Amino acid sequence: MRISFFSAHPYDEASFQAANHYQYELIFFNDTPLNPATASMAAGSDAICAFVNDHLDYECLNRLKNKGVKWIALRCAGFNNVDLAAARALNMPVVSVPTYTPEAVAEHTLALILTLNRQTHRAFNRVRENNFSLNGLLGFNLHGRTVGLIGTGQIGLASARILKGFGCHLLGYDPCPHHEFLELGGQYVDLSTVYQNSDIISLHCPLTPENYHMINVDALTQMKDGVMLINTSRGALIDTTAVIAALKSRKLGYLGLDVYEQEAQLFFHDLSEEIITDDEFQRLLTFPNVLITGHQGFFTQEALKDIAQTTLENLFRLSQDLPCDNELTHLLGEP
């Protein structure tokens, strides 16, 4: 099997080559996103492997199909960037990696919370300048605080387990409640109750047409003054314009982002020599109480290993006509 990797980076090549016990031919298009304009690069491949910001709409999928591509493998959990109905219409099975060490993203969530709260990033810079003043670095105890988790699947639960260790009260909102959240002492409530009662709100749900911009003016208005908002899920869950207004009015006390709605233009690339023209992103960077990382929640040794192994096994199963639990086109139900 020949597999073309889009949006690839050296660390993808290293993890996939290490997991390639199948002796597949792996072709890596470094820093090249998959879209209708680049799809023809996959000519002669049996499968393509795409990442979070590759854009797999009908046009792109159709071009891949015309170039002989049979299977689509996502090396990520989210799949909001793929038109699954189009893939099924074209008879192109799509597979993903729904679970891989959810602790990777959960631990990054805690890194954002702890850094924003105790301002270790600012303290690091101060101490390097021989500035040992504590003014402006005042934090709060996590112990006893209420954390609202929106989405209590794999990553939400892994976050809940860590937060329980910190002595936090846990509120959850999820249309499909999980018993483990209750066993951890968490309490399921409606969204308004999460907004009104949480000191920290962390998003762990997939992006769907229904929850696009769920964190908007109305949601922010309901939140406690000075609330901390964390998003490690998908950027478009948040209305950036509304969040900037809430930061300016100090309604929002802290913002931690690992994802951003327009991240496809920015993240995973070295733009240090470029002029960034996204004014909202640049405005976010000016706030001292905003911390942004470039979609690195998944980026641990363990997760890369799991992702590579599962992706190659997914493709092996498709190629052998074996049932594959990670096939997303099944989510659409019977045609």
152 lines the binding site for ligand NAI (CB under 6 A): yes
| Strands 2-8, 187-188: pairing kind | unpaired
Tokens of 190: 């409606």
- Choose between 25 and 302: whose C-beta lies nearer to ligand NAI: 302
Active-site residue identified among 75, 88, 261, 263 = 263
295 lines the binding site for ligand NAI (CB under 6 A): yes
Q: Which of 83, 174, 261, 306 binds ligand NAI (CB under 6 A)?
A: 174
232 lines the binding site for ligand NAI (CB under 6 A): yes
- Alpha-carbon dihedral of residues 311, 8, 82, 229, nearest 10 degrees? 100
As a whole number of angstroms, the distance between CA 334 and CA 65 comes to 22
Is 128 in a helix, a strand, or coil? helix
Q: 187-195 long-range CB contacts below 8 Å, 24 or more apart?
A: 191/150, 191/219, 192/222, 194/148, 194/150, 195/148, 195/219, 195/222, 195/223
Tokens of 170: 């846990």
- Choose between 64 and 158: whose C-beta lies nearer to ligand NAI: 158
Q: How far is the CB of 16 from ligand NAI (least distance, A)?
A: 17
88 lines the binding site for ligand NAI (CB under 6 A): no
Stretch that binds ligand NAI, among 31-39, 110-118, 135-143, 200-208 (CB under 6 A): 200-208
Stretch that binds ligand NAI, among 35-43, 53-61, 126-134, 292-300 (CB under 6 A): 292-300
| Angle (deg, nearest 10), helices 301-319 and 103-118 | 150
Stretch that binds ligand NAI, among 3-11, 116-124, 242-250, 294-302 (CB under 6 A): 294-302
- Choose between 201 and 318: whose C-beta lies nearer to ligand NAI: 201
Q: Which residue's entry shows tokens 């301002």?
A: 119
- On the 0-12 / 13-18 / 19+ scale of CB atoms within 10 A, 189 is middle
63 lines the binding site for ligand NAI (CB under 6 A): no
Stretch that binds ligand NAI, among 13-21, 54-62, 117-125, 226-234 (CB under 6 A): 226-234
Supply the DSSP symbol for 83. Answer: -
Residue 302 known to be catalytic: no
As a whole number of angstroms, the distance between CA 217 and CA 144 comes to 28
Active-site residue identified among 88, 145, 234, 261 = 234
Tokens of 254: 């802290």
- Choose between 4 and 211: whose C-beta lies nearer to ligand NAI: 211
As a whole number of angstroms, the distance between CA 246 and CA 209 comes to 24
297 lines the binding site for ligand NAI (CB under 6 A): yes
As a whole number of angstroms, the distance between CA 75 and CA 305 comes to 11
Q: Which of 19, 27, 150, 328 binds ligand NAI (CB under 6 A)?
A: 150
Q: How far is the CB of 51 from ligand NAI (least distance, A)?
A: 10
Q: Report, as residue numbers or ranges, the catalytic residues.
A: 234, 263, 295
Q: Give me the residues that bind ligand NAI (CB under 6 A), please.
A: 77-78, 102, 105, 150-156, 173-176, 204-206, 211, 232-234, 258-259, 295, 297-298
